[in-house]
Amino acid sequence: MIDLHIHSTFSDGSLSPEELVTLAAEAKLSAVALTDHDTTDGVPRFIKACENVGIEGVVGVEISVDFEPGTMHMLGYFMDIQNVALQSALQNVKDGREKRNHQILKKLCGLGMELNWDEVAALAGSDVIGRPHIVQALIARGYVETKDEAFNNFLGKGKSAYVERFRLSIREGMDCIRNAGGVPVLAHPFTLGLSFGKLRQCVSAMAKDGLQGIEVYYSMHNNKLRSQYMSLVKEFSLVATGGSDFHGAMNPSIRIGRGFGNVKVDDSVLVRLRKCIA
């Protein structure tokens, strides 16, 4: 079994790349992909750790792209992480994220919840700081008790401390992955907030622009959703991928390689993904 969607301390996960690989080995996974948000900085350490324990390490990333009304993330696999255009695009996204973070802190301060940049950065432990780290700081200060409370009341889209940020377009996100020799895959489609008919139209357009897979097997997908997404995979000749979206302490109920116990991704998925490489 494999897991093609996990996060480390280089984005919003709580474990280092090496600690993730140790967990993957304990779970008897044969391959894992590190898919940190908008960065590949943890990949070299991750791949080395995988080699040390005899697990196949897969280069990955998860890029936020511009989409309304929901949220769209684009997974990428097998890229050349030295590709200049890819790293330039990721840097633009990270710069937009940092600008947004400062604006969020300003809004929170206006709501009576004072946080400073240094305490948020200290919780992140990496150069990619996002809303989950602001949530940790809010909890540490006692302003909220849970992640859900923070997002539902302040940080979620449309809430009092929410701030939009720079994102690549859908086409730009797929192009920067493909141009770096990678395979673009639509992550957790339910977050798009679309009816099945609208989702089908969206996937049809994306497939024409270079989409090569859909994340079908995922911790938050029930049988009905998996069936719907698999029908799109078949209709548009895509690859059905999957992963746990493991973050560690941020959501301890999700286990690497298993999700809530409902994620089982066969090794053959990796074989089919490789056949997509240009």
- Please provide residue 60's backbone torsions phi and psi, each rounded to the nearest 5 degrees: -150, 170
**For residue 226, what is the domain's CATH number?**
3.20.20.140
- Answer with the residue of higher pLDDT: 101 or 28: 28
Pair (184, 71) in one structural domain: yes
Confidence at 126, pLDDT banded by 50, 70, 90: low
271 pLDDT more than 90: yes
Distance CA 173, CA 161 (A): 26
DSSP string, 151-178: IIIIISTTSTT------B-HHHHHHHHH
107 pLDDT more than 70: yes
The pLDDT of residue 100 is: 86
Q: 93: closest CA among 48, 63, 69, 122?
A: 63
Count the domains in the chain.
2
Tokens, residue 119: 């305490």
Residue percentage of the chain with pLDDT more than 90: 77
96 pLDDT more than 90: no
226 pLDDT more than 70: yes
267 pLDDT more than 70: yes
Domain around 14? 2-89+180-274
- Answer with the residue of higher pLDDT: 76 or 126: 76
The pLDDT of residue 127 is: 62
- With residue 183 as reference, give the H or E element that holds it: strand 183-186
> CB of 24 within 8 A of CB of 80?
no
168 within some domain: no
Pair (82, 10) in one structural domain: yes
**For residue 116, what is the domain's CATH number?**
1.10.150
208 within some domain: yes
Distance CA 8, CA 13 (A): 4
Pair (105, 73) in one structural domain: no
Average pLDDT of span 52-79: 94
**pLDDT, tens digit (0-9, with 9 covering 90-100), for 146-203:** 989 999 999 888 899 888 888 899 999 999 999 999 999 999 999 999 999 999 999 9
